[in-house]
Copies of this chain bind each other. A is one copy, B any other.
């Protein structure tokens, strides 16, 4: 049975697995001094059409926390949406890696920050009893399955830079956002003003690993030391790097992201046809948030399905991954229809 709890319930996509296995052919230098790491870094620079600085770390907590720590000091603060993963689901990781930087949350419709919301936080206080804002972080796609358009990012980034803040993007589902927008990765990152992107690999079909991509290379000074000290330097780096080769080839990453997004659309369309099943957010990436009666949610769980319900009362989250099958979506819809009809 396929669950809809998280896109990280999916395994490794075939292309990533093949690259992983092939990287095992021989003896190779450690700590990134290998050909796979070099090639993937080059491929990422090609993909982003700029001479960015690239680092591979083990997971998203570390990628975001290390990147944020590189952008501010402990007495600075990071402005984020109140639903941002860094604020709600990292167990204080950003605070730990930065030794105390505070996350200042702001509201925003559809899980998205706006220039006004960011401006309000920047202007809130300027005394030394309050941590000085130094970074804005955007989640792309957002925690509720919406997507920032390039102009939306550019507006926030312009405001941020004008106030001497840096712009970080949590791209755990960056692939889904790019696939949804149909723009180039460059357009939605550095051309819009993003300084650092955490490009998620795990949810795209890798076994593990994220890439921290510095578009503003001044910000990555000594970042390799930072990673090492913080337990994020893989000795057999090739196994963290090689899977990226598999998915960057022939835009496999976009193909998988488009599939996941399409499954979410299919699910959303099906739900829209069910009276009483109200979509909570625009479905723009690979997540579907829907309000369902409590007994329907209980019924789904009773049938063995796993999913989260952290968005308000009665709100269920269904995530689609690269491996989500049409049949699984249809079966989920069928289950919901049946449970709704039981009432």
- Residue numbers of A with Cβ under 8 A of B are 1-3, 5-6, 8-12, 17, 20-21, 23-31, 57-62, 65-66, 73-77, 88-93, 95-97, 99-102, 128-132, 202, 207-208, 222, 224-236, 239-240, 306, 323
Stoichiometry (number of copies): 4
Contact A59 B233 (CB under 8 A): yes
CA of A89 to CA of B208, assembled, Å:
25
Distance in angstroms from A220 CB to nearest chain B CB is 12
- Partner of A27 from the list B11, B17, B234 (CB cut-off 8 Å) is B11
- Partner of A91 from the list B62, B207, B225 (CB cut-off 8 Å) is B225
CA of A234 to CA of B62, assembled, Å:
11
Contact A75 B229 (CB under 8 A): yes
Contact A61 B228 (CB under 8 A): yes
Which residue of B has the minimal Cβ distance to A231?
B62
CA of A24 to CA of B202, assembled, Å:
13
Contact B235 A131 (CB under 8 A): no
* Beyond A11-B23, A61-B228, A208-B239, 9 additional pairs, beta carbon < 8 A: A11-B26, A20-B207, A62-B232, A74-B95, A93-B230, A97-B100, A131-B225, A202-B235, A207-B236
Contact B231 A97 (CB under 8 A): yes
Which residue of B has the minimal Cβ distance to A237?
B208
Which residue of B has the minimal Cβ distance to A232?
B231
User: Contacts A91-B225, A129-B228, A323-B27: A8 and B233 contacting too (C-beta < 8 A)?
Assistant: no
Kindly list chain B residues whose C-beta atoms are within 8 Å of the C-beta of A232. Answer: 58-59, 62, 231
Contact B91 A208 (CB under 8 A): no
User: Contacts A61-B228, A97-B231, A228-B75: A17 and B9 contacting too (C-beta < 8 A)?
Assistant: no
In the A-B complex, the 10 residue pairs with the smallest Cβ-Cβ separation, listed nearest first, are A62-B231, A96-B100, A75-B225, A95-B100, A99-B99, A8-B235, A207-B239, A61-B231, A75-B229, A91-B229
Kindly list chain B residues whose C-beta atoms are within 8 Å of the C-beta of A93. Answer: 100, 228-231
Contact B100 A222 (CB under 8 A): no
Contact B131 A229 (CB under 8 A): yes
Contact A27 B12 (CB under 8 A): no
Kindly list chain B residues whose C-beta atoms are within 8 Å of the C-beta of A76. Answer: 222, 225
Distance in angstroms from A168 CB to nearest chain B CB is 16
Kindly list chain B residues whose C-beta atoms are within 8 Å of the C-beta of A23. Answer: 11
Contact B306 A59 (CB under 8 A): no
CA of A71 to CA of B104, assembled, Å:
24
Kindly list chain B residues whose C-beta atoms are within 8 Å of the C-beta of A30. Answer: 5-6, 8-9
Kindly list chain B residues whose C-beta atoms are within 8 Å of the C-beta of A236. Answer: 8, 11-12, 202, 207-208
- Partner of A75 from the list B9, B75, B92, B235 (CB cut-off 8 Å) is B92
CA of A34 to CA of B8, assembled, Å:
12
Contact A5 B28 (CB under 8 A): no
Contact B208 A128 (CB under 8 A): no
Kindly list chain B residues whose C-beta atoms are within 8 Å of the C-beta of A6. Answer: 30, 235
Contact B21 A100 (CB under 8 A): no
CA of A28 to CA of B59, assembled, Å:
18
Distance in angstroms from A93 CB to nearest chain B CB is 5
Which residue of B has the minimal Cβ distance to A321?
B27
